[in-house]
Amino acid sequence: MKFTNLKMLNIIGVFMLFSMPVLAQEIIKDTIKPKAVPTSVRKKIDGVIATVGDFNILESDIDKSYLEMTSQGSSIKDISRCQMLGKLLEDKLYAHQAIQDSIVVSDDEVKSKMDEQITYMVEQLGSMDKVIAYFKKSNEEDFKTELSDIIKMNKLAGQMQKKIIDGVEITPEEVRTFFKKIPTADLPVFGSEMEVSQIVVFPKVSEAEKQKVIDRLKELKKEVEGGSSFATKAVLYSQDPGSSSNGGYYRMNKKTPFVKEFKDVAFSLGEGEISEPFETEFGYHIIYVEKIRGQDIDLRHILIVPKTDEQALKDAKERILNIKKKIDDKSISFADAARAESDEKETRSNGGVLINPKTQDTHFELTKMDPSLYAQVSNLKEGEVSVPILDTEQSGKKKYKLITVTNRINEHTADYARDYIKIKDLALKEKQIQAIAKWSEEKIKETYIKINGEYRNCEFANNWLKK
């Protein structure tokens, strides 16, 4: 099966039939060594070929996994049915143990994700009937049932993996040891990078507009307390692009990277409580705590962003132009201007330096940079300050910003001092993989696992056959 339509590839990417968790993908080649399965196996009537705990794996599940990979444009030429079975065994082991550990995936969580995926697929293919036909299902009910089961399975597996690696930490000495054991010829090469700083000016919002938003959130709170669904209100009214389609849902703990004001309110509420409207740099929110699960809480929230008028935008532009003039005249450095003038709390204290959200350091690799940011900085010389840029966030909030490139770094072989953050990340991932491997070894021993028929001839690195 071949696809030339990039949108089609994206559709399949959302519909992950029996897709493997991220870390399992990284280690599949190292953990499973295939031995050919006789052709006769492929001709058998669909039946149970393996069992892990309460989960069965059918012959057709392997075919579905091949279809899923092919649909995403991945080559299956060198992947045997033994390899695919090994991956499915891993998925089921995670999900089985998640249930044993009382990890819960709520029906609302599954439904919200399913609705989001179906909406996207219908938009791309044109209708629900076309989606059903594309995935070769007999009717909408069968399609939704299978998609729901897949989403729940993936969420259980993902949360189990997260639980395994959450406690894994790494010391500076372990990072140094990891780096030293890499042969010089095998050291990773990091692409061209740059360091970027910015100064942000938010247009001032009138007190009347702020009060209008606060009053609207109070109305929504009152309606929910009167029996309306908070999730439905979030879908209809929240301007948070990251959660509105899921009914405002987030699961978080005190380590989750939310802004302080949001976390303070979230952890001050009891189960079933709804907060009063409160402000963060993103706008005004209300939070509903749905469930408290030990250190984790399931919550929903609604974000509404106050509108800015044309005069406020004009005043903000004039203010940022004055800041740029001071920098251009050398009367103040960019970093000092950011500390004194920028409205963005996140970057103001460190002189406007941007932190890469993917790596948590200050380096942005050009080939992996957000396209909108790359477009704004690609033509800047080192030290040059951009013209004022009017930026609109996904929530609709507007801001003016100045950007400068403070450092350009050419492609280079990994250096311990310069690339410590990246090396630390690689070392941590290796330790996490080792933790998962150890966990798998232990759980395989204590879990009921049965592999049937000629699939017992497969040779696995994991001891699925308990020999």
Is pLDDT at 43 greater than 80 in this prediction?
Answer: no
Instruction: Judge whether 303 and 334 are in contact, CB under 8 Å.
Output: no
Per-residue confidence (pLDDT) for residue 46, from 0 to 100? 64
**Average of per-residue pLDDT across 122-139:** 83
**Average of per-residue pLDDT across 71-98:** 85
**Average of per-residue pLDDT across 117-122:** 80
Cα–Cα distance, 191 to 367 (Å, whole number): 8
* 207-304 matches 6-168+433-457 in CATH topology: no
Alpha helices in 185-332 (DSSP H): 207-225, 230-237, 260-266, 310-328
Per-residue confidence (pLDDT) for residue 20, from 0 to 100? 36
Q: What's the CATH class of domain 6-168+433-457? A: mainly alpha
Angle at 359 between CA 377 and CA 244, to 5 degrees: 85
Give the dihedral sign, CA 249/255/260/265.
positive
Q: Which residue did the predictor score with more confidence, 46 or 412? A: 412
Q: Which amino acid is at 119?
A: T
**Average of per-residue pLDDT across 197-217:** 94
Per-residue confidence (pLDDT) for residue 395, from 0 to 100? 76
Q: At what angle do helices 334-341 and 310-328 cross, to 10 degrees?
A: 150
Mean pLDDT for the chain overall: 85
Domain layout of the chain by residue ranges: 6-168+433-457, 190-204+309-413, 207-304
pLDDT band at 47 (very low <50, low <70, confident <90, very high): confident
pTM score? 0.60
**What DSSP line would sit under 178-227, residue for residue?**
HHHTS-GGG--EE--EEEEEEEEEPPPPPHHHHHHHHHHHHHHHHHHHTT
Tens digit of each residue's pLDDT (9 = 90 or more) over 219-237: 999 999 999 999 999 999 9
Domain spanning 190-204+309-413, CATH architecture: Roll (3.10)
Q: What's the CATH class of domain 207-304? A: alpha beta
Per-residue confidence (pLDDT) for residue 263, from 0 to 100? 93
